[in-house]
Structure 1
Amino acid sequence: MFNKKRLVAAAALATGAVLVLAGCAGETADPSATFNPDEKVTLNLAFWGNDVRADLYNKAIDAFNEEYPNIKVNSTFLGFPEFWEKRQTEAAGGGLPDVMQFDYSYLRQYAQNGLLLDLGPYLGGIIDKKPLADNILKIGVVDDTTYAIPTSTNAWGLFTNPKLLETAGVENFEGGSWSDYTDWMKSVTDASDGKVFGGSDYTGRIQNFELQLRSEGKNLFNEDGTPGFDEKRLAEFWNEGAAARDGAVLPQQQAEELLPLSAFDAAKTASELTWDNFGAGYLGNLGEGYTELGLVAPPVTKDGAKDLYLKPSMLHAISAKTKHPEAAATLVDFLINSPESGKIFGTNRGLPASTTALEAADLDPMSTQIKDYEASIADRLGDAPPVPIVGYGSLEEKFRVLGTELNFGTVKVDDAVKQFFTEMDVVLNQ
């Protein structure tokens, strides 16, 4: 039986304790203060990325200063793991940057520990919400409070490799049930005599399980932190993959030998279910001779279900202890909504969530394809699920590892289910 505490997983317990202590200290900025554009202030901005993204942020800050010359912005960046290590250290000392690029998986942890500013008072004022759809704004909400705004979005999709399909003489997946998808993968594998496989074992990805649950009107995890499924339902999902593991999908040993590339990156599988913003990376890894990929909707569990949703590639949030909340909100609005931001960043941070930024962005062919894809699945898009529970990342990884063991044949479904629920018990009952 799972209780409703949503603290950190065992692996991150020490960090979570630090954040709780940090969240209890200090005062939240007064949202009723009047914004004075003539006041000279300095803001600290932190983001993760590389030199390319840093150059884009520098250009965006220059454009921001043309409009707001009295707001000085000092920016710093790190790689993703180092970025969050530094934020945890800063949280312990109460010194988070004024404005932060933020990851969805950390949002609940930081919000519930009082480390992020309530953005509600600035929405519709300093932060223009007209270019942001309601379902996008809801993504940054924790316990009925808006703590972050998405810079960009992505959706779950099915990438296919047109060159491999042409060689195998098999048409692109035209939609259908999960069983239809398994049959299609087997047809690719058989047609190529095993030189290419139709795909990978989709039951190794927790997102595909979530898709099926959403079609049944359930969440992977509810707002109160409890799971939206039981052992029987998980066993049903993993047993569903037995047909695919019986000769239709790439054997796990071959997948391991390809690492760090995925089987799709290495042109060993003709399809892959994943987030749609992976397209550019796939093309880069596939190399010369690849200028396009197929991108279609995932299999359907129940007709008419709102099983898909838009997930933020990243968000922007403001420290609860910033001394300049109005200036910080002005910077967030510019980085998310301004046409200048759209022109400068393009799709570097994902497909822009703001319509004004998106209209100004120069989209390459892959980005245009993703934009068209997300428009094509509009009838399947529902509200985003509750913000991920604290410890979600460790459960996602456990799910993946058990999926590989199922594909290896080193664990039975019932044992895998027991192992996952044991891990989930640790995470949810801390």
Structure 2
Amino acid sequence: MTLTIDRRSVLSGMAATLAFGALGVRGAMAATSMRFLWWGSKDRTERTFAAIKAYSGKAADVTIEGESFGWDNYWTRLATQTAGGNSPDLIQMDYRYIFEYARRGSLLDLTPYMGKGLDIEAFGDANINSGKVDGKLYGVNLGVNSGITILNKDGWAESGVEEPKDDMTWEQFADSCAKLTAAKKRRSFYGTQDASGLESALECWLRQRGKALYDADGAVAFTAADMTDWFKFWGEMRESGACVPADIQALDQLTIETSMVSLGKAAASFAHSNQFIGYQAISKENLGIVSYPINGTDGKPGQYLKPSMLVSVSAASPNKDAAVAFVNFLVGDEDAAKALGVERGVPASSKIRDFMAPTLDDDAKTVVDYIARLTPKVGALPPPPPNGAGENQFLLKKIAEEVAFKKTTAEDAGAKFAEQAAANIKRG
């Protein structure tokens, strides 16, 4: 058997997008060739190729080619390939988008494979149900995660300002960030990113106030006034110097590599817990994680546990059984666990968690410990996002930048976002 590895790396603008070519096992008996598409950092890509290589020892007749892109470019790529009839066999899927793709008939119903090649019954109902749409299974949970505030611990220590802790209020967070900026221990170094255009931060803020992004019927569950309050809060953060100015925040292309912490522009950013591994992998600084700030008035939980991502199989794949076999390997095999670690989240399989526990390095333990201490405080998983919700994530970023660059007011931006977000959902 001969192992052939061919990696093509393409850097696309500020998105720092990686596109990796084929890594496959090609031998005299090679009979099945599949494609796997995912988003993520360079670290995730290397781990995924390591898992593919491990699989080659168990299925030498299978070739798996891999491609990786940044978050924003990924969904454009997937949509284009799916519409063009060239969908990858294996698809890294997000909870937000699985409903759109499943209801369009683009994803394979995995329900018939349960217990027959797909052994995930021990994951528990919550972890299994996170991949269901209309009662059918279209995605398998690759890991459990939640939102985090990621901290440059070295930057906080240098400033002499106490770093944020779990259960710090938004007001306390703003004050600490303003003090760090004012300390001026580093040039052009601010307390936090400007998260006004970050949907995960907005969602937490809304849930803490008894609101939500979307209700169970798929309609927007916030008002223009809610959005105005959100944009005003971040406007005050910019005025106090607590967060980076607009021209610096514009460098963030929703990737780990272009985040404000990774670029050395801020001492705090918001991310997902599984991303901590990737953040620390590219940083020379000592990083840490705490929960999102809280609303100190009523204590409603804003955070929740969610599938960090899922893996799905294309309904158009000519290799459905082989694809399902690889999915089962990814989530239930010890060799896959060794390769993947917890970079995609804490494994849903208790067997795999127990296997990994003695081998976890400090970064992985940081993630697992965080999920453990957060779990008693979380709220329920929100209703599935409706069709059109994906557009609203990028709409929020666009309108938030307009406010930050003073092209519009918080009031006008709040009304504009509420109106256009509702229109996107209606059209979707």
User: For 1:154, which of 142, 145, 150 is the aligned residue?
Assistant: 145
Query: Does residue 1:339 correspond to 2:334, yes or no?
Result: yes
Query: Does residue 1:44 correspond to 2:38, yes or no?
Result: no
1:112 positional shift: 0.3
User: For 1:141, which of 126, 132, 145 is the aligned residue?
Assistant: 132
1:211 aligned residue: 204
Q: Aligned AA for 2:150? A: F
Q: 1:280 to 1:87 in 2, by over 3 A?
A: closer
Q: Aligned AA for 1:416? A: A
Unaligned runs of 5+ in 1: 1-39
Larger Rg: 1
Q: 1:83 to 1:239 in 2, by over 3 A?
A: closer
1:242 aligned residue: 235
Q: Does the 8 A contact of 2:196 with 2:230 survive in 1?
A: yes
Counterparts of residues 302-341 of structure 1 (less than 5 Å)? 305-320=300-315, 328-341=323-336
2:175 aligned residue: 183
CA-atom RMSD in angstroms: 3.2
Q: Does the 8 A contact of 2:38 with 2:68 survive in 1?
A: yes
Distance 1:54 1:262 in 2: 22
CA deviation profile, 1:75-127 (whole Å, cap 9, x unmatched): 22223378766755664576655543334443122200122232334435543
CA deviation profile, 1:311-337 (whole Å, cap 9, x unmatched): 334322233356776654443222212
Q: Aligned AA for 1:187? A: K
Distance 1:206 1:241 in 2: 14
Q: Does the 8 A contact of 1:343 with 1:357 survive in 2?
A: no
Query: Does residue 1:401 correspond to 2:401, yes or no?
Result: no
Secondary structure of 2:399's counterpart equals: helix
Secondary structure of 1:246's counterpart equals: helix
Q: Does the 8 A contact of 2:194 with 2:249 survive in 1?
A: no
Q: Aligned AA for 2:129? A: K
Task: Using structure 2 for the length normalisation, give the TM-score.
Answer: 0.77
Distance 2:139 2:158 in 1: 46
Unaligned runs of 5+ in 2: 1-29
Distance 2:118 2:380 in 1: 22
1:115 aligned residue: 106
2:375 aligned residue: 378
Distance 2:252 2:197 in 1: 17
Distance 1:360 1:124 in 2: 22
Query: How many residues get paired?
Result: 383
Query: Does residue 1:369 correspond to 2:371, yes or no?
Result: no
Q: Does the 8 A contact of 1:141 with 1:387 survive in 2?
A: no
Q: Aligned AA for 1:48? A: W
1:272 positional shift: 1.4
Q: Aligned AA for 2:265? A: K
Q: Does the 8 A contact of 1:214 with 1:306 survive in 2?
A: yes
Q: Aligned AA for 1:340? A: D
1:184 positional shift: 1.6
User: For 2:290, which of 291, 296, 309 is the aligned residue?
Assistant: 296
Q: Does the 8 A contact of 2:38 with 2:92 survive in 1?
A: yes
CA deviation profile, 1:351-384 (whole Å, cap 9, x unmatched): 4333333333443322221111111101123333
1:419 aligned residue: 416
Counterparts of residues 259-274 of structure 1 (less than 5 Å)? 261-274=258-271
CA deviation profile, 1:200-254 (whole Å, cap 9, x unmatched): 2333322122112223454312343211111122222222333322222222234
Secondary structure of 1:182's counterpart equals: helix
Q: Which has the higher contact order (CA 8 A, sep 6+)?
A: 1
Q: Does the 8 A contact of 1:351 with 1:358 survive in 2?
A: yes
Task: Using structure 1 for the length normalisation, give the TM-score.
Answer: 0.77
Which deviates the most, 408-417 or 133-142? 133-142
Which deviates the most, 385-394 or 92-101? 92-101
Which deviates the most, 249-258 or 413-422? 249-258
1:279 aligned residue: 276
Query: Does residue 1:198 correspond to 2:195, yes or no?
Result: no
Which deviates the most, 298-307 or 155-164? 298-307
Indicate the percent of aligned positions where both proteins have the same amino acid: 28
Secondary structure of 1:202's counterpart equals: coil
Distance 2:219 2:396 in 1: 17
Secondary structure of 1:79's counterpart equals: strand
1:296 positional shift: 0.7
User: For 1:233, which of 226, 232, 235 is the aligned residue?
Assistant: 226
1:188 positional shift: 1.7
Q: Aligned AA for 2:371? A: E
Distance 2:396 2:33 in 1: 40
